[in-house]
Chain A
């Protein structure tokens, strides 16, 4: 039980601030580092306050590199992965939840098996296949490769949520004249909206952060994603740390904004009140 009263409340405020600080500090540290000149980077007394005079590093980052293109490519890949994976996962998830068919266990287990194979192992065969299919050097190819990893996870997550939708509601819809497709799109999906949002978060971040495929399957400079572009700064002899931090920050912010946008949908309790338990 959480204690109420003034003491309890202030304790909670302090605890929340501490957690928030721990989560936000790396971002702040990135910002501070990005405004620290290279010469001061390894000074004994690290600075904690950003240096406004060094803010020009952001202009440099935008002007001197293709960071806007990279972030745009990353966004295309992330959004594409999200849309494709959810679209592909909904129907198998529904089928696994509602139908009994021969080989059902094998299908379910097969989805798990795909999660056991590391991406690095699949890069080479995937490269060969994508070469044949003319998917190398395309963002759609990258979206496809990423989705192959997110679809099984999302299928299982959605299956779990659909299991929780009372069958009575679906039967009522059948009697009211819904086809199976109408039921999935019009009744089941709205009821699993919170899980759908959570699945979207998983797919989006997978697409946004993915590195190995983006590095291997894309060689065209203009199609690079931010993860690859950022890694390109790490040189053999020197690394412009403050530029990397500036770009890193720009790479992080869209993802944070996406999460803030989606998280309000991640609320439970949508089905409360439909069926008396």
Chain B
């Protein structure tokens, strides 16, 4: 169980970091298009700020999303007995796309996350769920190789 919890936490953290960096780049790109000067220091400052302030918020969205998505992925992989990793990747990505859509339909503002205002941004942000699914599946149970290494 501890391994599953750690794998889940790492999936959330890893996906949140990637999602944060992606959304920061979208925000900065919009400013660059307005001729706002964004040098490396400013870019790093923006990433740092967003990792501290946006990262925890997006992680809070990922936790329930991944919990549901990964259970569905596990059920599908057991039921169909094939391609476990792909089910987790697909479930993470689709789960996040559904979660973003649901949040935007419920939140008072039309789009909660600025990067999701464009189709490309929405796809890239949702793909962070797929990345989370990949991390979780990679870590949540020992691979056959690891089990062999544990034999005396």
| A and B part of one assembly | no
User: Which residues of A are interface residues toward B (Cβ below 8 A)?
Assistant: none
User: Which residues of B are interface residues toward A (Cβ below 8 A)?
Assistant: none
